[in-house]
Amino acid sequence: MLGRLSPTFVNSRNIWCGGFVALAVGMGIFEYINRILHSQLGENLTLGIRKKLFSSMISKNIEWFDKKERAPGILSGMFQEDVSQLKGLTSQTYALILEATVCLLIGIALSFLNTWKMALVTRSVVPFLILGGMAEQIIFWNSVKNSTKQVKDNEDQLDPYDRANALLSDIIINYKTVISLGEKNVEFLLQKYQALLEEPKRIGIKQAHISGIIYGYSQCIRFLFVAFIFYLSSIFIFKYNDEPEDTYVGVYTLFIAAIGSGSLFSQLPSVSKSKQSANKIFEIIETHKKVKKDQRYGQVMNYQQKQIIQQGEIEFRNLSFKYPSRDKKVLNNFSLKIPMGCKVALVGHSGSGKSTIANLLLRLYDYEEGSILIDGNNLKDYDVKLLRNSIGYVMQEPLLFNISIKENIIYGNSEASDDQIKEVAEMANALQFIDDFSENQEHNPSKAFKLPQDQVMHEQQNEDQNIDTTILSQGFSKKCGLKGSLLSGGQKQRIAIARALIKDPKILILDEATSALDEQSQESFNIALEKAMIGRTSIVIAHRLSTIRNCDWICVLHHGKMVEQGTFQGLSDDEDSYFYKLKSGMEM
Ligand SMILES: Nc1ncnc2c1ncn2[C@@H]1O[C@H](COP(=O)(O)OP(=O)(O)OP(=O)(O)O)[C@@H](O)[C@H]1O
């Protein structure tokens, strides 16, 4: 059999086979290096993007987070899914595209060398191959546009997956409320979640039909191309007496060219998805750059910016404000001067604008009308980071992180010494119960109700060896649980006061919320408040008479306007005053 083959044939067979074996080995090594390099590049890129995205998100104004498309579930999903999608836009896909392009070009070049006539004719079919790939692209983009349009027409204007993620994060964050509202509520939420997933499922199936047809076309055209080459080669051999060997090599290289071009185009949809994710991510990073410099958290100060609050005198001058998402003003021409070290209570019905004043003082939102002065300087001239460092804020519902008590306290000042931590815990009337945690485990809710997750937290707590027991008791290493769930309401509030005090702020804002506390905790909390306010300018958003009594000045707000102000006694004596009526409805 071998004897009948011409030496030229054997020779070139050996050359080609040897060439392909060398190519196979080369490809193996190349692929290995290629994958390592590109996954390294990809990982570095995603790490860099995650860092950038995080730092730009964390420095956004609160109003940015107020929008429904910025729900926690959507934003955390972006860090996982969208950032990972970016890999498709960079190293891996581009490496494959490069590989496929090189494959295509080599195939074309070799086919021209061996059988140029046939190569020339078959080139006429290439546009159909490209059309297959392009059609996949067009269909993909149309489906993205349609689904976005469909969603935009919806009241929520959000991607269905994003809406499902937002709901999921809401449920997880508020899991206690969800479960406590009973099985019916859980069932309702489950149905709602399923309903939200129905829409993307429907869109996905519709998309699958269309892209199936297009993908089928692009695959079909590749094999039609192969059939066409075979047919054409037989014509060239028998009709035009072309050399069979040259034709064989030419046909083979054209196959490679066709396969190369096919894989090139099949990679493109993942590029499209990546582009979509890149748009989402860079929109956030880019808008960070557009935010006015003075509004950015942690912005390096320019020469005009005041460093820290020296005394703590506050003046609101004709301040008017409306939230960006609303047309109605929630503060109207509000003016008030609070001398240094004074305790001022803001009272008024729910929604009268008390917390809004705190929001503006902390520059969580920016006002356009009127001004706020601190120590006679415009609030906007202070560096935002340093300003917030000089103001202690205890929120209505203090939020603790699932870290130790000590870590929660130093969250306000990571450089605080153990002595300072102990001091502020004492001032906040928290030292006693913290110490009790180390001595008397009865206080530990995780012991009373041993849920599996509590047990894990308890074990973690025992593992924590970082606390210097000579100054701080082991109680400081107790984990607080998700949102402080392992502590009582009063304990959480006192730790929040300690956290505010660790910064030694000149100004203290207390959004007092004692309604959830029992009498003993309330008393403890009030003592803590009194101690905390000594020597600081304090604004108390008051809900209880017991706190107002000790304040130097009381301002009564109604629909964002100051309607009355005076001392507790002065306002209480006037039976016609707004405060008089308000007082009778207030808790003791
Ligand atoms: N982020 C926000 N976006 C839009 N409107 C808001 C926002 N926060 C508060 N509001 C609205 O502004 C008004 C004033 O709210 P604010 O929280 O200042 O009232 P408050 O007097 O502190 O109420 P409460 O005593 O119940 O805490 C309310 O009508 C409220 O609905």
Q: Which residues contact 456 (CB under 8 A, 6 or more apart)?
A: none
Give the model's pLDDT for residue 587. Answer: 54
Q: Which CATH architecture has domain 23-290?
A: Up-down Bundle (1.20)
Verify whether ligand 1 is closer than 6 Å to residue 73 (CB atom): no
- Any atom of ligand 1 within 6 Å of the Cβ of 354: yes
- The closest residue, in CA terms, to atom 31 on ligand 1 is 351
Q: Is the CB of 351 under 6 A from ligand 1?
A: yes
Quote the tokens at residue 136: 């996949």
Helical spans, DSSP H, in 468-577: 489-501, 519-533, 545-549, 568-573
Q: CB under 8 Å to 451, separation ≥6 — which residues?
A: none
Q: Would you say the CB of residue 66 lies under 6 angstroms from ligand 1?
A: yes
- Cα separation, 446 vs 435, whole angstroms: 16
Query: In the chain, how long is the greatest CA-to-CA distance?
Result: 124
d(CA 160, CA 154) in angstroms, rounded, equals 10
Which tokens belong to 346?
A: 């803001």
Residue of the nearest CA to atom 3 in ligand 1?
Answer: 323
* Token pair for 10: 């054997």
Q: What does the H/E/C string look like for 542-554?
A: CCEHHHHHCCCEE
The rounded Å distance from CA 15 to ligand 1 centre is: 81
* Residue identifier of the C-alpha nearest atom 28 of ligand 1: 351
The pLDDT assigned to 367 comes to 87
How many beta carbons lie within 10 A of that of residue 257, not counting itself? 26
Q: What is the CATH architecture of 312-390+505-588?
A: 3-Layer(aba) Sandwich (3.40)
330 lines ligand 1 (CB under 6 A): yes
| Complex ipTM | 0.97
Closest CA to 380 of 313, 455, 296, 452: 296
Going from the Cα of 323 to the center of ligand 1, the distance in angstroms, rounded, reads: 9
The rounded Å distance from CA 351 to ligand 1 centre is: 5
Does residue 353's CB lie within 6 angstroms of at least one atom of ligand 1? yes
pTM: 0.66
Closest CA to 588 of 521, 505, 514: 514
Ligand 1 neighbour 323 (Cβ under 6 A): yes
Q: Average pLDDT for consecutive 10-residue bins of the chain (588 residues)? A: 70 88 91 83 86 86 78 83 76 68 76 75 68 60 50 54 80 76 79 83 80 77 79 83 78 71 60 78 73 47 60 92 87 92 90 90 88 90 85 84 89 84 87 79 42 44 49 84 82 88 89 64 73 87 78 91 89 82 67
Q: Which of 346, 354, 514 to mutate to test the pocket of ligand 1 (most atoms within 8 A of CB)?
A: 354
Distance 350 CA to ligand 1 centre (A): 8
Q: Which amino acid is at 64?
A: W
- For ligand 1, the distance from its centroid to the CA atom of residue 354, given in whole angstroms, is 8
Would the CB of 325 count as within 6 Å of ligand 1?
yes
Neighbour count for residue 244 (Cβ, 10 Å): 14
Residue nearest atom 16 of ligand 1, based on CA coordinates = 353
For 237, counting Cβ atoms within 10 Å of its Cβ (0-12 exposed, 13-18 middle, 19+ buried), the class is middle
- CB of 528 closer than 8 Å to CB of 431: no
For the Cβ of 397 lying below 6 angstroms from any atom of ligand 1, the answer is no
Measured CA to CA, the distance from residue 329 to residue 320 in angstroms comes to 7
Q: Is 269 in the pocket of ligand 1 (CB under 6 A)?
A: no
Site to substitute for ligand 1 among 355, 366, 395, 559, most atoms within 8 A of C-beta: 355
Q: Which of 67, 326, 334 to mutate to test the pocket of ligand 1 (most atoms within 8 A of CB)?
A: 326
Is 290 touching ligand 1 by the criterion CB < 6 Å? Answer: no
- Of all protein residues, whose CA lies closest to atom 26 belonging to ligand 1? 350
CA angle 293, 373, 537 (to 5 degrees): 115
Ligand 1 pocket test target in 334, 347, 352 with most atoms within 8 Å of CB: 352
Q: What CATH code is assigned to 400-504?
A: 3.40.50.300
Structure tokens at 217: 């076309």
Instruction: Give the per-residue SS3 of 246-301.
Output: HHHHHHHHHHHHHHHHHHHHHHHHHHHHHHHHHHHHHHHHHHHHHCCHHHCCCCCC
Best of 66, 330, 394, 511 for a ligand 1 pocket test (most atoms within 8 Å of beta carbon):
330
pLDDT of residue 263: 62
Conformational region of residue 236, where left means phi above 0, alpha means psi within -120 to 50, and beta covers everything else:
alpha
Ligand 1 centroid to Cα of residue 409, in Å, is 28
328 lines ligand 1 (CB under 6 A): no
Q: Does residue 348 line the site of ligand 1, with CB under 6 A?
A: yes
400-504 and 23-290 share a CATH fold:
no
CA of 371 to the centre of ligand 1 (A): 20
Ligand 1 nearest atom to the CA of residue 543, by list position: 25
* For the chain, domain boundaries: 23-290, 312-390+505-588, 400-504
DSSP 405-438: HHHHHGGG-TT--HHHHHHHHHHTT-HHHHHHHH
Helices (H), 362-486: 384-389, 405-409, 418-427, 431-439, 445-448, 452-463
Secondary structure element (H or E) that encloses residue 111, with its range: helix 91-123
Ligand 1, atom 17: closest residue by C-alpha: 355
Nearest alpha carbon, ligand 1 atom 13: 351
Give the Å distance between the CA of 330 and the centre of ligand 1: 8
pLDDT value, residue 513:
60
